[in-house]
Structure 1
Amino acid sequence: MISGGIHYVLFIILLFFITVIVSYILLKILFAHTFPIYMLSAAAIICIISLVVWSIHFPHMADSFTRFLFSSIVAVLSAFCLAASAFIISRLLKENKQCHKCLFFEYPDVILLLDINGLLISGNPEVRKMLGYKPREYIGKHFTQFIAPDQIEKAKKKFERTLKGESCEYDLQVKHKNGKIIDMHFKTIPIIHGNRLKGIYVIGQNMTELNRYRKELENLYHKHTLILNSIAEGVCGIDKHGNIVFWNPAAERMTGYKAEEAIGKASHDIIHHTKKDGTPYSIDECPIDLAIQDGKTYHISEDIFWKKDGTHFPVSYTVTPVLENGAVVDAVLTFTDITELKKTEEFIRTSEKLSVAGQLAAGIAHEIRNPLTAIKGFIQLLQFELDVKKPYLHIIESEIQRIELILGELLVLAKPQATKFTKSDIGVLLQHVTTLLETQGILHNIQIITKIDPSLPLIECDENGLKQVFINFLKNAMEAMKSGGHIFIEAQKKDEYSVLIRFIDEGCGIPKEQLEKIGKPFFTTKEKGTGLGIMISKKIIEDHGGTMSIMSEENKGTTVEVTLPIRVSASSVLHNSLLSG
């Protein structure tokens, strides 16, 4: 019996050392980076647990060595699993705690921990670096003590939302220890275990420098926008796909498209889709698209762009590609409405023609008038002797009078007569002209209807000059109404500075292609016209500081609008005096 007990004791000792060695090897394999002393301790713990388990089972299995051996192995395995599980859990908890510590203390932004009452529990080292407070100066205090006074209510509302389990992001101004206000961006994260809120994490980022850079960038953008918006040229930014990304106010004024209507659309589709003759403008030959495709700058001295209302206007434009590392990323289109430039050029050409025509007219008039006077005198003498042939003489005399009329117009063109401006009633003047031509109108089945505002003010004008203009307009209207009809004369006050006069007929109208040429030297739509009447009328109106415009539609009639200032400006008087001198 004693010998058997000794055997059991020796076996137990041997089993203890085997268990320690095997446990140490297994733990080293499982946890290679753990210190040996920890693994040895764990192995010893396993053996102790094994002995405990074995001692519990031994009394029931001591009747045979086999059962004893089986009981010992079960005890060792049970202890090993239990110890290994505990060790793994301990290791994971330790690593998790270490990671949390690294995140909390090494994070580059401020991290604060608040309880559900808003008291600060802890904070990372960035709190001192960024805000200047030591832990003892903020731990245990309410977070609102560190918020700028005017933003405390905002901070409280965000805190209350976080208490309800909602993460929040917002900007706040906080107080530095030295009293300086710092712009910060915060994110609050609720800490929830189970269904209970345990606290709140607050992560804060210093936005002072970022806000300063942002403000500088905004100021720079604002200045550039002001510059682009103030220039008279249209400026259009275009991306590499041909879509508009910028549209300045000058571009809005010229085209009628608002920025919000143009941005995002293809420039070719809204302003450059059709040529002047109505044929489509292929995008493959469009200089705007070509600049984007080949990276070259294109300058077009004259072309047309289209407006929102479907009309077009002449432009001069330059399209410049924007390159980045040799690749086209955008393009800038700058364009100018050259309507006034073309009018100026046309005015210069007309002036040159007038100058030549004036010199020619003066020479012709003087050369012809002298012999014409002699011829007219001798014809008048012959009338007393040639009673039978008097009808022929009347025809000759009528044609000579017509020649004199033409010569008179040529002389007006060559050397305008001196004008005298006096205050006159424009309504009375129109009535006189109407009375003068009313009989002629009745003969041609034409009725002249006047609508003159009786409250029209007196205007400064040259009565004879305006009579000549109004008679010319009425005669033109009558000549255009072969089948009779109505001529309407309207006069009203346009504004406090000017009056508006309209001559409206029901004649044949003027073709659109000829309308632009009306008023040019020697251009006329009449068979026996000289083309000088409208030109002289326009000049007389301009001498008064007024304007004239003609609107016409074929087979419907023509409207002539005349705007005259109530008081002739000093510049107009000076201009007329220079001409008459």
Structure 2
Amino acid sequence: MALLEMWERFELQFLENISDGFIAFDRHWNVISVNTKGCRLLFCNREDLIGKSIYERFPAYNESAFYKKLHAAWESNKEVNFAEYASELQTWFEVKAFPTLEGLAVLFRNVTEQRQKETVEKQYYRSLFLQHPDAVYAMDLEGNYRTVNPSTERIIGYSRAELQNRNFRSHVFSEDLPKVVHFFEEAARGTAQRFEARILKKSGEPVDLLITHVPIIVDGAIVGVYGIAKDITKQKETEQALRLSEKALAQSQRIAGIGYWEVDFQARVSKWSEETFRIFGLEPAQGPVSLEWIMAQVHPEDRERVKQELQKAENGHPLRLEYRIIRSDGEERVVRSQRELAHYQPESRKMFGVIQDVTEQKRTEQLLIESQKRYQSLMTYNSDGVAAMNLDGSYLEVNPAFERMTGYKREELQQMTYRQLVRPEEAEQTSVIWDTLVREAVPFTISQQLLHKNGQSFEVNTHNIPIIVGDEVTGYFTISRDTSQQKRMDEILRQSDKLAAVGQLAAAVAHEVRNPLTSLKGFTQLLQHEFPDANQSYFDIMKGELERIELISGELLVLAKPKPERFELRSVNQVLHEVVTLLESQANMSNVEVVLSLEPTLPPIFCDENQLKQVFVNIMKNGIEAMQDGGKLTISTRRHHHHLFIAFQDEGCGISKEKLERIGEPFFTTKEKGTGLGMMITQKIVQHHKGTLEVESQQGRGTTVKVSLPIDGM
């Protein structure tokens, strides 16, 4: 089958299997290709699009921003990415357009549902901001208010317009101002703060606040400070009232929102304090209320449970019960009742206790639960190893990635400290660094060698973040990334560059040494015949030394010859993935798209992983460098009988037939600054693996390099 036909079939299969819609235009904006996904997203049949002008098919968008951006991609000959709302289809599309030889290719994806979710999420956060009972506000780095919620206006007494661009320093108590400024500056430097302070309302009334300041970070930079201020004036007053006298108890209950009640089971009535009536949304009354009426206020879904618990309490069991009530105004609240039995008389049993409206507390708890779930998700699904440690370096919590990285189970790590994972020769130095930086209570990053449970060491880069509770550092979060593999890949590249340099030097040395060496050998033989009476051992020594020099210069040429060192069972697909990751940035800089078409069920082969990586690196770099104007590098794998086949197909300039026949010769290269050793080394490595390497190329059409490796081992 012709290579072009194979490529067209591969291209058609590839376009049908991608998750995005695809459509291609010629230079006259006629549709020349569209995949099934694209037809579905455009609500059209393929026959309605192929060969048709896109302007005629969708005339409503002729002057839209969508077409202007497509024109921009064509005119600038550069890829463009944007999101566009198609009003005719009532659909949001995420679009990527890039020029081709024929015209323009467009990938697009329906992101309507995602957009809708983002809109809902923004509304959620806005609702939380507007409805939050505490003051929520944002300030710039100078301390000027930028935006405030209604609770801020209520708590401080200033309107939103009055607070706009007003500095927080203007209404802080003078005695508290230095402390508040300090905590603000700490938050502006990136450390969250929590503290108490007093302010003056617009009316001159003092307010005690519990304030939390956190940095506002946009694109990695701190641009301001968020604040959440809870009015704790009543709480302060309650604490003061409790300290003053027993007489203030009733008032303190009122401030705290705690009501008192007493139940007479014999009379089937309950006596309430004033606050209990208020919790139920009623005006205080003098007489008792019946138990039947109380049960009628309980939420229908909780009513049976409350009856059962009340019966248990009647039989002598103390209880702590949370349930919902429906007040007379229809509002649903959550209350908590705590009660115990008291036997006043043998024939009379009564129960007394307190009731508290915990609706806001439950809402806060729900927010905390959701926050905990987000934290747990971050821990569980993070690909990096995440651990929480106390200030002594003992592990409190670890995620699955950290378990895999170290080889220890979570339960084992919770009995260990980080010092037990550090190599013995580095333990003392690491302890000094840890103790010093922990005392400073700042984030820090270190690179170190850790020990796996199996005894092998690996290098990690660890970012340490302080855990701050109540303005105090109680521990550290650590985020660790295994950098061993990356360093091995970097070493392969360095070795490849060194090998090329050595080969180039070897060529120069061999060229400069061998010519005069030939002359010396000839004159030595001539002198030996010319002076037969001279000591012949001298001539033998000279010839031996000259032959040794010739041998050394010959060995210079094979300094870069690869020698397998460690053969193990390895997945070719995995090796390819790692090499593609390594060269991804170089490909992006060269505007080269790397496409992988790997057969998923390939068996592992017996090979030297590092040498295979060198082979794939050399071939990929050649392919990328051959596409100076960008293009697509397709890498595919497949199995045929007892061999694996790996193909690298580029869209570069190609190689002429005359030069193609010399590929692999020492010091022959098609690149301006090449050494000609890369492909020679590559061929040697493949041969050591009992494989074959073939190169097919057409000028102007690109090059395909095919590598065949045996499955059954060496």
User: For the superposition of Structure 1 and Structure 2, which TM-score range results when normalised by the shorter chain?
Assistant: 0.3 to 0.5
> Which has the higher Rg, Structure 1 or Structure 2?
1
Answer 1 or 2: which has greater strand percent. 2
- Greater RCO structure (CA 8 Å; 6+ sep): 1
